[in-house]
């Protein structure tokens, strides 16, 4: 038997506006304030299809609801062959109308994009969007009120942060191995050099602290010296 033709459950605009408004109100009451950081493409490698110099220069405030209320999901923290890895995962819900009105129109995007970042202001952690689900629910009253964002803890990889927010921009100065921002200059703005011709760097720039693998060459040399056994021919006449 077909549905009753006298009731329109999918094209009722006032009902759709009401559902969207109720979702926005619920998130604003029970959610958390986040910062949405759209990823900018700096230098795209067309062969490998990757961006090796992406950067973030904008942070939009946006309220979001945490669906995984019992804590972080995912594999958590564990030791692998690459060292300690953190695979915390969290699922966030953001109102579609709020996102489009405050971010989508400005950035010319229709939904949160994979690769963009979410800054959780309470825990001061960055999460990367790995999947933006725009079909999480079955379109109540014929519209989609929410986006579900599956996010994982962000792993820094040479990105540049210039958002104007100190806690976020400090990531670049703390983990970046680019020595350019740490070069010392004189009063005229000219770079200073050491006796060996290298640039004079700020004392706070310590590559051994930033890069855990900095001492690989030293370890390799020690291993060579340790295993360097001189082989002699036992049949050679002395």
Q: How confident is the model at residue 232 (pLDDT cuts 50, 70, 90)?
A: low
Residue 147 CB burial class (10 angstroms; 0-12, 13-18, ≥19): buried
Judged against a pLDDT cut of 90, whether residue 2 lies above it is answered with no
Residue with more model confidence, 133 or 199? 133
Judged against a pLDDT cut of 70, whether residue 233 lies above it is answered with no
Chain centroid, CA 211 distance in Å:
19
Please give the Cα distance from 143 to 23 (Å, whole number): 12
Structure tokens at 196: 């060996």
Q: What is the pLDDT of residue 145?
A: 87
**Using the 8-state DSSP alphabet, how is residue 39 labeled?**
P
Q: What is the pLDDT of residue 100?
A: 93
Say if CB 223 and CB 231 are below 8 A apart: no
Domain-by-domain residue ranges, the chain? Answer: 13-175, 180-227
Q: pTM of this prediction?
A: 0.70
Say if CB 92 and CB 151 are below 8 A apart: yes
Judged against a pLDDT cut of 70, whether residue 44 lies above it is answered with no
Say if CB 192 and CB 184 are below 8 A apart: yes
Residue with more model confidence, 191 or 62? 62
């Amino acid at each position: 038997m077909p549905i009753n033709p006298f009731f329109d459950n999918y094209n009722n605009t006032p009902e759709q506006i009401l559902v969207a408004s109720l979702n926005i109100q619920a998130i604003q009451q029970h959610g958390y304030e986040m910062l949405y950081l759209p990823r900018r493409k700096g230098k795209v490698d067309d062969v490998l299809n990757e961006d090796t110099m992406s950067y973030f220069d904008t942070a939009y405030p946006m309220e979001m609801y945490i669906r995984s209320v019992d804590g972080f999901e995912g594999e958590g923290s564990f030791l692998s062959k690459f060292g300690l890895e953190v695979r915390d995962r969290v699922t966030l819900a953001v109102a579609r109308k709020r996102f489009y009105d405050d971010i989508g129109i400005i950035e010319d995007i229709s939904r949160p994009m994979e690769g963009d970042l979410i800054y959780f202001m309470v825990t001061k952690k960055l999460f990367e969007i790995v999947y933006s689900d725009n079909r999480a629910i079955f379109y109540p009253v014929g519209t989609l009120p929410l986006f579900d964002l599956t996010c994982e803890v962000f792993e820094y990889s040479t990105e540049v942060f210039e958002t104007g927010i100190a806690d976020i921009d400090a990531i670049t100065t703390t983990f970046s191995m680019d020595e350019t921002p740490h070069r010392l200059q004189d009063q005229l703005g000219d770079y200073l050099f050491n006796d060996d011709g290298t640039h004079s760097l700020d004392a706070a720039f310590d590559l051994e602290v930033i890069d855990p693998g900095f001492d690989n060459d030293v370890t390799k040399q020690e291993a060579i010296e340790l295993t360097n056994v001189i082989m002699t021919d036992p049949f050679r006449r002395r």
